[in-house]
Amino acid sequence: MVRNIALLFLSLLAANETFSQQEEKENLIFNGSFEDHFYCPQRIEPYGQMMEVEAWWQPTGGSSDYYHPCGGRQCRVPKNKLGYQYPRTGQAMVGIYVSKTDYREYIQTELKYPLEAGERYRLRFWVSLSEYSTGAVATIGGLFTDYRIKDGTRELLTNNSKKSYNNGVRQEIAKIFEPQVVNPFDKPLLDTAQWQMIEGEFVAKGGERFLTIGNFYPAEQSNVLFPRYLREILPGAYYYIDDVELYCLTCSDKKQISENITVTKKKDEKEYEIGQVIVLENIFFDFDKSVILPQSFMELKKLMDILNAYPSMRIELSGHTDSKGSDRYNMKLSEERAKAVYDYLLSKGIDEKRLSFKGYGAKRPIADNATEEGRSRNRRVEFKIVSM
C-alpha cells in the first residue's frame, strides 16, 4: 500500500513537472485568448467577417463572432445575443457554429514560427456550448496547414486540391480534412456552464504555418446530440472558444535573431539608415476601405518590434494606391490607410512624436499599373526612416 502511494506521488510529481516545463515554453499562438483587438465588436453579422480580433480571422464565408465587454449589446460578455458565458480567462472570447446543420464557421491564425519536421507539439484550447443551441457535437478540432485556407463556402470545409482526369475532363474531388488534433467522437462537448478542454499531441510534417479551428466532419460523423436542457433557439450547435495554446514538446530553445524583427531587411544589412524606405508587404485592408484586417497582425508586430528595438527611430508612414479611380479618391484612400497604421501604433504605446503619415495616391508606383500583379504591388503601405 505504501509502495503504491509512493508510486502515485512520483507519477503526480512527474506530471506536474512536465506541465510546468510546458508552461515555461513559448506559446506559438499570437493572441490566443483574443484580448487584443483592432476595435470593439458592435453586432452579430450573419454575413460579416470577424475583423475585430488581432491575429485571427475567418477562412470561409461562415461569419465567426467576437465578444468583448467594450462591444455592443449583441457582442458583450457574459450576456450576448447567442448565449451567456464568461470568458475562461481575461475579457474576450470568440464563437462559432460547428454543426448540427450543414452550416459551418471556422477561425484561423498564423503561427509565430513554422512547425519543424519530426518535432512533437501539443495543441489545447477550451470550448463551451451555448445554451441557446439546438444540439451538441464532439468532433471539434485543430487543423495545421502550410498554406492559408481561403474558401467562400459557408458549409463544411473540404480539401478540394486534388484533381482527376476522365476522358480529358478535369474534376475536383472534395475530401474531408483530417485535423491533427480533434476531440474524441465518444466525448461530446455538452457543458454550457463550464469550459471543456480540447487537447492533443502530434508530430509535425514540417512547414505548417496556419491553424484552423472548427468541425471538419459531416453531421453523421460528429456525434450530434440533443440535450433536453438546451433552449433550442439557435439553428445549430454554437460554441464559445477561448485560450488557444500550442507548445513544442521536443524543440530545443531558440533565440530570436535580429533578422526576425525586420520586415524586408536583407541578410547582409547590419543596421537601418536614415532615408531607408521599407514596404510593409502584408498589410491587408477591407475592399476600398481603410479598415485593417486581422491578417495584418504579423506584419504590424514586426513593425512594432523594429520600433521597440530602435527607440529613437522616427518614421513616416505612407499610403499608396494603384491607378484605378480618380486622383482625389486615391489620395484620400491612401492617406486614410496610412493613418490606420499610424493609429494602430499609437494604440500600442508608440509615442506620436516618432510617427507621421501621408497619402500619395497613385503618384509613386513601384510596378506597372497595366497588369493586376503590378496594381497589387502598388497598393501598399510603407515607411521611411526619418531619423535614428
Burial 221-250 (b: 16+ CB within 10 A, else e): ebbbeebeebeeebebbbbbbbbbbbbbee
Q: Are 299 and 263 in contact (CB under 8 A)?
A: yes
Q: Which three cell numbers stand for residue 113?
A: 514560427
The 10s digit of each residue's pLDDT in 50-90 is: 889 999 999 998 999 999 999 999 999 999 999 999 999 99
Among 218, 248, 278, give the residue marking a domain's end.
248
pLDDT at position 267:
43
Q: What is the Cα–Cα distance from 15 to 10, expressed in whole angstroms? A: 9
Residue 174 has pLDDT above 90, yes or no: no
Are 281 and 153 members of one domain?
A: no
> Is residue 242 a part of any domain in this protein?
yes
Are 236 and 122 members of one domain?
A: yes
Q: 33-42, 263-272, 293-302: which has the minimum mean pLDDT?
A: 263-272
pLDDT at position 172:
62
Domain count, the chain: 2
Q: What is the Cα–Cα distance from 61 to 104, expressed in whole angstroms? A: 9
Q: Centre a 10 Å sphere on the Cβ of residue 33 and count the other Cβ atoms it contains.
A: 20
Are 228 and 367 members of one domain?
A: no
CATH number reported for the structural domain that contains residue 313 in this entry? 3.30.1330.60
Are 290 and 230 members of one domain?
A: no
Q: Which three cell numbers stand for residue 380?
A: 501598399
Q: 9-13, 106-110, 194-198: which has the minimum mean pLDDT?
A: 9-13
Residue 303 has pLDDT above 50, yes or no: yes
> Is residue 6 a part of any domain in this protein?
no
Closest CA to 376 of 277, 284, 264: 284
Q: Are 206 and 248 in contact (CB under 8 A)?
A: no
**Per-residue pLDDT averaged across 165-178, rounded?**
69
| Mean pLDDT score of the chain | 85
3-state secondary structure of 156: coil
Residue 19 has pLDDT above 80, yes or no: no
The 10s digit of each residue's pLDDT in 106-159 is: 999 999 999 999 999 999 999 999 999 999 999 999 999 999 988 888 888 888
> Is residue 33 a part of any domain in this protein?
yes
Are 81 and 48 members of one domain?
A: yes
Closest CA to 298 of 320, 274, 315, 280: 280
Domain span including residue 270 = 258-387
pLDDT at position 164:
57
Are 206 and 266 members of one domain?
A: no
> Is residue 9 a part of any domain in this protein?
no
Are 217 and 329 members of one domain?
A: no
The 10s digit of each residue's pLDDT in 201-224 is: 999 999 999 999 999 999 888 989
Q: Are 214 and 105 in contact (CB under 8 A)?
A: yes
